[in-house]
Homo-oligomer: A and B are copies of this chain.
Amino acid sequence: MTKMPMPSAAAPDTKIYERRESAVRTYSRSMPRQFGKAQGVWMHDNAGGRYLDFLSGCSSLNYGHNHPVLKAALVDYIAGDGVTHALDLHTDAKTEFLRTFEDVVLEPRGLDYRMMFTGPTGTNAVEAAIKLARKVTGREMVVAFTNGFHGMTLGALACTGNAGKRGGAGVPLNHVSHEPFDGYYGEGVDTADLLEQRLSDPSSGLDAPAAFLVETVQGEGGLNAASPGWLRKIAALARKHGALLIVDDIQAGCGRTGGFFSFEGMGFTPDIVTLAKSLSGMGLPFALTLIRPDLDIWAPGEHNGTFRGNNHAFVTATAALREFWADSAFADDVARRGGILEGRLERMADRHGLSTRGRGMMRGIDVGSGEIAARITGACFDAGLIIETSGAHDEIVKVLAPLVIDDATLNAGLDILETALAEAIAPVKRPLGVAA
């Protein structure tokens, strides 16, 4: 039976953070603990507290913290003086990663991509993708979507919808048109059709696009899941209008929604795919831009970066691919467990007249306001559950449990959420005149 979390009672001394860390820090404000160790689905703070992690580094820890197989591979590598940093020189670790990715990921899926190792952050993979799309097409404008999130550097930030993040740019963010995502205008309005009308109208003012940049499930934007049909339409639109289709699979890929890629089995193939977050498997910085071979027209070094090709990440990523993706067992188990998650969230939502969002193990519940959501996640944290929100108004409580979680622990965590949700929602629903 799952042992429940044992959170700490009080916050640690954080003076050094107040004195020396920038005001830009964020998660530590709502989760004021100091963590030391982490294993599997658990994080431990320095006051003896233990927390169940339903945030997973925003889906960067799909295989949990310090997975023993990955950890062992990395320790061995370091102990043996394996190359840590080598710019983009060939290394044993890189060779193994390339071969394993080809064998385990590309070939079984009939996919043909070249791998570009960008700087090891998702935003860098996105910047490389849109640069290449612009270079290939000779066009500037990229179509991104409402509530999309693609990163914080200027090129990727221009593709990001969030006004608060955009406002940090300090310069106008251009060369991007933010079009309504699937379902944005409610049922009965096919936003792909609306987009097609404007793209086909030479007087619409919408310039010919270099690329469509899309998440199949919008992680930061509120767990909005695009339907396969809509995504196929977007893929067809891209092809029709001479634009590239870039799937940003940084959060939804690596098994979070089931398959290694979130778009598997949907009947279309992106021209470019970006990966990061859980790619290294252990939370190490690592990012990858997959490119259809005939589009790989980069000049040598045209996009580079000191930390491209993080060899520690090659080692853990290779181990993770072999451990989890050599056959379909893991994906099947994720699909099954996603069903459990879906069922429980649906029941919670039904009970309170709310709605759910998402797909696979990337799901959440729309609680109506960021204020209520914050009350829920706060109560969860007090009960030992790390869980966060997303959406335009932070109104979606999202469950990003490690994919390796066992069913009992998943349910135990969801029990905490269920209680917190009921307590946060209930008072709101009480009829007037009844004391709280």
Contact A302 B171 (CB under 8 A): no
Q: A347 an interface residue at 8 Å Cβ cutoff?
A: no
Which residue of the partner chain, among B12, B135, B167, B285, contacts A307 with CB atoms under 8 Å?
Answer: B285
Interface string of A78-105 (1 = CB under 8 A from B): 1111111111111110010011011000
Q: How far is the CA of A127 from the CA of B127 in the complex (A)?
A: 13
Mask for A160-183, Cβ within 8 A of B = 1, else 0?
111111111111111111101000
CB of A114 closer than 8 Å to a CB of B: yes
Residue contact A89 to B22, C-beta cutoff 8 Å: no
List B contacts of A312 (CB < 8 A).
Answer: 284, 312
* Residues of B close to A2: CB separation below 8 A: none
Q: What 1/0 flags go to A59-87 for Cβ under 8 Å of B?
A: 01100011000010011001111111111
CB of A326 within 8 Å of the partner chain: no
Task: Establish whether residues A83 and B95, one from each chain, have CB atoms under 8 Å apart when the complex forms.
Answer: no
Q: Is the CB of B140 within 8 A of A98?
A: no
| Residue of B whose beta carbon sits closest to that of A24 | B298
Q: Are A16 and B102 in contact (CB under 8 A)?
A: yes
Q: Is the CB of A120 within 8 A of B153?
A: no
Cross-chain contact A35 with B90 (CB below 8 angstroms)? yes
- Grouping DSSP codes into helix (H, G, I), strand (E, B) and loop, the A interface class, with mixed when no group exceeds half, is loop
Given the interface contacts A22-B291, A33-B90, A298-B23, does A154 sit within 8 Å of B154 by beta carbon?
A: yes
Pick from B25, B123, B170, B307: contact of A153, CB under 8 Å: B123
CB–CB B75/A300 < 8 A: no
- Residue numbers in B under 8 Å from A43 (CB-CB): 83, 86
Asked if residues A92 and B36 are in contact (CB atoms below 8 Å), the reply is yes
Contacting pair A152 B202 (CB below 8 A): no
CA A142 to CA B217, docked complex, whole Å: 30
**With A28-B88, A161-B204, A285-B307 as contacts: A172 and B170 at CB distance below 8 Å:** no
Complex alpha-carbon distance, A72 and B114, angstroms: 36
Cβ contact of A123, chosen from B29, B124, B171, B185, cutoff 8 A: B124
The CA-CA distance from A17 to B89 in the complex, in Å, is: 11
Chain B residue numbers with a CB within 8 Å of A221 are 203
What are 14 A-B contacts with C-beta separation under 8 Å? A20-B98, A21-B115, A22-B115, A27-B87, A27-B88, A28-B89, A38-B82, A60-B85, A66-B78, A154-B158, A164-B299, A172-B175, A185-B194, A284-B310
| Beyond A146-B204, A163-B207, A276-B307, 7 additional pairs, beta carbon < 8 A | A22-B114, A22-B289, A35-B92, A85-B284, A152-B303, A154-B154, A284-B310
Would you list the 6 A-B pairs with minimal beta carbon distance, nearest first?
A134-B170, A85-B283, A178-B205, A203-B392, A153-B153, A154-B155
